[in-house]
Amino acid sequence: MRLRNIPRAQEEIDASPVAIKDEKNHRGKWAEVFGNEHPIHIEIGMGKGQFILELAKRNPEINYIGIERYSSVLLRALEKFSTEEYEELQNIRFICMDAAELDEIFASEEVEKIYLNFSDPWPKARHARRRLTSTRFLSVYEKVLVEEGVVEFKTDNRPLFEFSLEQVEEVGWELKAHTFDLHNNKEMNDGNIMTEYEAKFSAMGNPIHKLVAARK
Ligand SMILES: C[S@@+](CC[C@H](N)C(=O)[O-])C[C@H]1O[C@@H](n2cnc3c(N)ncnc32)[C@H](O)[C@@H]1O
């Protein structure tokens, strides 16, 4: 997702108390940011933030950090946070950054769970390293996840999903669960929160695929 550049986006991010600007200074010390020792779950490429805001509302005992590369997109999540439904939440923060640098932001074993939803497919083979489920990124996640920490990934893109299953196997992670039709899988769909892309693509009739993989 890349929205038209919004000149005021950076200004709004700078002014927002929930958008972290000095993220590298908090490496190993995220508990101080939240003022408690609750587990940290992150979403990479959160887009406009619907999924992670809803998660944070449902689970006050978990601390959430939404990561998004583009300031114009992050701005949308900040605007959603500032609505009556979410503005009181104490357990969510946002960072504008590229996930490739994740291990500069989090120390070893600082993150319990990583969500990836409808990540950009980068269909050309020469761009495979940019896919957020490639072995390159899984190796970065491994540096910050707790032992047994998990990645949960949803997409409607079958080639990307099949690629992701292969990459999980290649890095030696444990595939805990997977489905090619999440919305018709009673067990895996229980408590599912739809993302913006999920709502759009499932309305078009596309089956949603999901995998859960645990760090080796
Ligand atoms: C296709 S959108 C999906 C948005 C949302 N997760 C959803 O399901 O509705 C993918 C998002 O991931 C972001 N993204 C892609 N690569 C990223 C990276 N390396 N680091 C951070 N964000 C990234 C994009 O900017 C975009 O907003």
Ligand 1 centroid to 126 CA: how many Å?
19
199-211 pLDDT, tens digit per residue, is 999 999 999 999 9
pLDDT digits (tens, 9 = 90+) for 46-56: 999 999 999 99
Catalytic residues: 120
pLDDT digits (tens, 9 = 90+) for 20-33: 999 999 999 999 99
First to last CA, the chain: 31
At 30 the pLDDT is: 98
Above 80 in pLDDT, residue 2? no
In whole angstroms, give the CA distance from residue 27 to residue 116. Answer: 21
Looking at the chain, the whole-number percentage of residues with pLDDT higher than 90 is 94
Q: Read off the pLDDT of residues 144-166 as tens digits, 9 standing for 90 and up.
A: 999 999 999 999 999 999 999 99
Of all atoms in ligand 1, which is nearest to the CA of residue 196?
Answer: 9
Taking the C-alpha atoms of residue 66 and residue 76, their distance in angstroms, rounded to an integer, is 12
Strand partners, 177: 212
Q: Is the CB of 54 under 6 A from ligand 1?
A: no
Q: Amino acid identity, residue 133? A: T
Q: Can you give the pLDDT at residue 4? A: 67
34-43: average pLDDT = 98
CA–CA distances in Å: residue 38 to residues 29, 63, 177, 203: 12, 6, 25, 36
- List, for residues 75-86, the tens digit of each pLDDT value: 999 999 999 999
d(CA 87, CA 183): 30
> With pLDDT > 70 as the criterion, what percentage of the chain qualifies?
98
Amino acid letter, residue 137? F
Residues 163-178 have pLDDT tens digits of 999 999 999 999 999 9
1 CB within 6 A, ligand 1 = yes
